[in-house]
Amino acid sequence: MQLSGPSSSGSAPSSPARAAREAWLAWLANERRTAPLTVEAYRRDTDSFLGFLTRHLGAEPDLAALAGLRVADFRAWLAALATRGSSDPHKSTHGRNATAPTRARHLAALRGFFRFLAARMGVENAELRLLETPRYHRPLPRPLSRAQAVEVTEEIGIEAATPEADARDTALFTLLYGCGLRISEALALRVADSPRPGTDAPLRVLGKGSKPRLVPVLPVVRQAIAAWLKLHPAPLAEAPLFTGARGGPLNPAMAQRAMHNFRVRMGLPESATPHALRHSFATHLLADGADLRAIQELLGHASLSTTQRYTAVDPTHLLEVWHRTHPRG
């Protein structure tokens, strides 16, 4: 995804502020290697802000206007989001109130933009730092039980249309639970990346922002992938590891559908999704005494606070660790 100069729609930016925003998005995409979907989300969020400012100030803002904004202006923008939803007429949420998590995401995008303005264009605005992030409680991860997670890996492909689809789905979901991968990370793997039986080499995964990490691979995962590769339609080194019916990369919707069908068949809760296997991986490791920092590295979380959410899922584990490790325990 190349974002340099003009906006992705092909039209020239209509103001200095929008030109600066396009430069920021290009920097994110081309230098920071931010995920394309994240870049587009930041584009929409800042569109909302710049559109609000045009109405709020009575004209398209320039860089001096951005530098001169007061905390009251930023609060007015957040209030407008809370009462009217996004100002972007192309979004399906137009006209609906933006929730606290949505407003927090908009504000995070705006702070990133203003950091870029300060670092690259000398446009400083200290007022934004005075604005508090909207408070909200992130929902806790909802992992599967150990028995349910194993059941998924062993039986997900039983009702697949073909033996090839059976082997593929078994390998994919065994990998998701065995290595704690995001579905996007698993579907981005090539045949050349696949772990092979009889070796201890870790799996190299590209996470968010194209940040690489190494993940150890269990023998059961290696075996499931080896069984799939025997049926892979074109196991060339650069081919997608997980393919669809036409030989291209497997669509994430197909993996979601396979999990949905299995969930209905086995009576599992709605929270049983492919991503729930990643939650299960982390929660079960934590319950067995794994170090929180190690789990952070395995999951590829940029912040430990994200990983710490799993401690709230299993508070019993924290009590056991306290008893086991405290000098007076």
Concatenating the DSSP letter of every residue in 178-228 gives: HH---HHHHHT-BGGG---TT--PPEEEE-GGG-EEEE---HHHHHHHHHH
Please name which of 50, 68, 67, 72 lies closest in space to residue 59, comparing C-alpha atoms: 50
Question: How much is the pLDDT for 88?
Answer: 44
Give the integer Cα–Cα distance in Å for 57 and 47.
15
Question: How much is the pLDDT for 83?
Answer: 80
Question: How much is the pLDDT for 9?
Answer: 43
- Digits of tens for pLDDT over the chain (329 positions)? 333 333 444 444 468 899 999 999 999 988 888 878 889 999 999 999 999 999 999 989 999 999 999 999 999 998 898 885 444 433 434 445 667 778 888 898 999 999 999 999 999 999 988 888 766 566 677 889 999 999 999 999 888 889 999 999 999 999 999 999 999 999 999 999 998 877 889 999 988 877 899 999 999 999 999 999 999 999 899 999 999 988 889 999 999 999 999 999 998 888 899 999 999 999 898 888 888 899 999 999 888 877 877 777 665 555 665 666 666 65
Give the integer Cα–Cα distance in Å for 231 and 38.
35
Question: How much is the pLDDT for 49?
Answer: 93
Question: How much is the pLDDT for 8?
Answer: 44
Tokens of 8: 């992705």
Question: How much is the pLDDT for 198?
Answer: 79
Give the integer Cα–Cα distance in Å for 243 and 248.
5
CA 161 to chain centre: 30
The rounded radius of gyration (Å) of the Cα atoms in the chain is 23
Phi and psi torsions of 139, nearest 5°:
-60, 145
Question: Which residues are part of the catalytic machinery?
Answer: 182, 208, 275, 278, 301, 310
Domains and CATH numbers, the chain: 16-130 (1.10.150.130), 146-325 (1.10.443.10)
Give the integer Cα–Cα distance in Å for 180 and 167.
19
Question: How much is the pLDDT for 1?
Answer: 32
Question: How much is the pLDDT for 139?
Answer: 66
